[in-house]
Amino acid sequence: MLLSNSFIPILKNNPSEAKIKSHQLMLRVGMIKQASAGIYSWLPLGFKVMKKIEDIVRQEQNKIGAQEILMPTIQSSEIWKESGRYDDYGEEMLRITDRQNREMLYGPTNEEQVTEIFRSSIKSYKSLPQLLYHIQWKFRDEIRPRFGIMRGREFYMKDAYSFDVSDEEAFYSYNKFFLSYLKTFKRLSLTAIPMAADTGPIGGNLSHEFIILADTGESKIFTDKRIFDLDNDDTQLEKGSLESMRKKYEQFYAVTDEKFNKEEFEKIVSKENQLITKGIEVGHIFYFGDKYSKPMGASVDLPGGKKDFVKMGSYGIGVSRLVGAIIEAKYDDKNEIMKWPLSVAPYDIALIPMINKNDSSALDKANNINKELLKNNIDAIIDNTEENFSSKIKKMNLIGAPYQIIIGKKGEGDLLEFKVTGEETQNLPLSKIIEIITKQKNSI
């Protein structure tokens, strides 16, 4: 892709209204454009990153046997009245009336909608478990939307729902999502720690937030820092393996401020292992039993002719929020360099030819290099503008392709000036560069 043909409206300076680095970068590099308070249009660069995140989220949901559906953004108030949440949810719910004077709402979440789908379709325990998910826009009318897409009113979210015949089977489903979240965030190059959390308006009695450390985070966290040394590489999708994995994390104190108990924290965690800091919530999972299935009549036939209400859980990941979270975790504010993980970077590599009006050889070389990269499924952006070298580097550092090739006077023979963005340059042949990038992509 030629930069001159790209819709990337870069600003020279950070917008004054942006207070955190993700909001600053996304506006400055033209990833988003505000439409109204807390609502944004996603421009090509930002949309590309978000869709790559979505693909990884989807892949990890599919691996645990979850099935994708798509529910509407507009829901009937009737199912929310059945569950008892229509009046209780609060002013964050956007309520509307259609031309037939029917009460509708823009969905802030989908427990009621998916329960209605389930109860009209599944009648026997033999069809359980069912794990359903969708990736859809949500709307919550935040009283003070701020920090760009991190605390917006409209956001893109993956929400999944489990239906099981018993508590034991429901915990098995819960643990599947627990593992899938750890693997999802690892593929995004994020260290997300599961922490015991309040269930909030979703309800239930078991809940974990997945938090990444960030100074700009809105969640205050209290944890035993040894939890960061854990891994889940040997976990299998069997009940025993999954239960052991979750208990391995839960043996360490890790809570958000809503669940914090100072006396308990200081008693359980030695002083040298105590960590008190801020973080960003990137995922939240809940188990709430029959909280929705019972009032909405979602039951199945059991052996012997009895019926029972299914046991449910819900599992959310803010796909659009993750774009901002990755920036908060990876952006080098001091040097103005965005280090996107290769798994979600808008481009794999930036080609930066030194162009002057009387000599097109550097641009021609960049185009020829790009042809070879395309043969190897490597996505490149070429800065074909006539700006000076310093401006080009600064611009490409902001866009944040993980790798760069500088095409100028220093390249000798078949060697190219290649570097990981923000690091030292090395001279390598194109074949070696392709090998490095391909190997890294295959490991994602």
User: Residue 356: what pLDDT?
Assistant: 76
Integer Cα distance of 89 and 202 in angstroms: 9
Q: Is residue 338 part of a domain?
A: no
Pick from 274, 233, 241: nearest CA to 255: 274
Q: Tell me which amino acid residue 41 is.
A: S
**DSSP code of residue 258:** G
Does the pLDDT value for residue 163 go beyond 70? Answer: yes
Share of the chain above pLDDT 90, in %: 86
Are residues 100 and 240 both part of a single domain? yes
Q: Are 159 and 73 in the same domain?
A: yes
- The two beta strands, 349-353 and 403-407, are parallel
Regarding whether 294 and 364 lie in a shared domain, the answer is: no
- What are the distances in angstroms from CA 357 to CA 360, 387, 411? 7, 11, 20
- Both 351 and 252 in a single domain? no
The number of distinct structural domains making up the chain is 2
337 part of a folded domain: no
Residues 131, 114: Cα–Cα separation, whole Å: 11
Look at residues 332, 356, 389 and tell me which one is the last residue of a structural domain: 332
Q: Note whether 317 and 397 are same-domain residues.
A: no
Question: Residue 173 domain-assigned?
Answer: yes
- Find residue 94's DSSP bridge partners: 106
Range of 409's domain? 347-442
Answer with the one of 275, 297, 332 that is the final residue of a domain.
332
| Both tokens assigned to 17 | 């209204």
> What pLDDT sits at residue 291?
94
Handedness of CA 399, 144, 76, 309 (dihedral sign): positive
Neighbours of 42 (CB within 10 A): 19
Residue 444 and residue 438: Cα distance in Å, rounded?
10
143 shares a domain with 88? yes
Amino acid in the structure at residue 77: S
Whether residue 17 is contained in a domain is answered as yes
Query: What's the CATH code of the domain at 425?
Result: 3.40.50.800
| Whether residue 201 has pLDDT greater than 70 | no
Cα(141)–Cα(80) distance, integer angstroms: 17
Q: Which of 290-304, 379-393, 410-424, 427-441 has the lowest mean pLDDT?
A: 410-424
Tell me which of 270, 297, 332 is where a domain ends. 332
**H or E element, residue 321:** helix 319-330
Question: Is 32 within the bounds of a domain?
Answer: yes
For the CA atoms of the chain, what is the radius of gyration?
24
Residue 180 has, within 13 A of its CA and on its CB side, a CA count of 28
Residue 30 tokens read as 């033209």
Q: Is 260 within the bounds of a domain?
A: yes
DSSP state of 310: P
Together in a domain, 113 and 203: yes
Whether 311 and 422 map to the same domain: the answer is no
Give the model's pLDDT for residue 295: 97
pTM value surpassing 0.85: yes
352 lies in the same domain as 327: no
Q: Dmax over Cα atoms in the chain, in whole Å?
A: 87
Cα distance between residue 116 and residue 97, in whole Å = 21
Same domain for 353 and 311 = no
Q: Is residue 342 part of a domain?
A: no
**One domain for residues 202 and 327:** yes
pLDDT at 214 over 90: no
- Answer yes or no: is 421 within a domain: yes
Could you tell me the CATH number of the domain that includes residue 326?
3.30.930.10
SS3 228: helix
Chain CA centroid to CA 255, Å: 21
Instruction: Indicate whether 196 and 48 sit together in one domain.
Output: yes
Instruction: For residue 278, give the amino acid letter.
Output: K
Q: What's the pLDDT at 206? A: 85
CA gap 73, 63 in Å, rounded: 26
pLDDT given at position 31 = 98
HSE toward the beta carbon, residue 189, CA cutoff 13 A: 19
d(CA 35, CA 279): 28
Cα 369 to Cα 350, 354, 409: the distances in Å are 11, 14, 16
Q: What is the pLDDT of residues 216-262, one digit of tens each?
A: 888 899 999 999 999 998 999 999 999 999 999 999 999 988 889 99
pLDDT at 224: 96
- Compute the average pLDDT of residues 394-408: 95
Q: 132 - beta bridge partners?
A: 67, 161
In which region does residue 382 sit, left (phi positive, over 0), alpha (psi from -120 to 50) or beta (all else)? beta
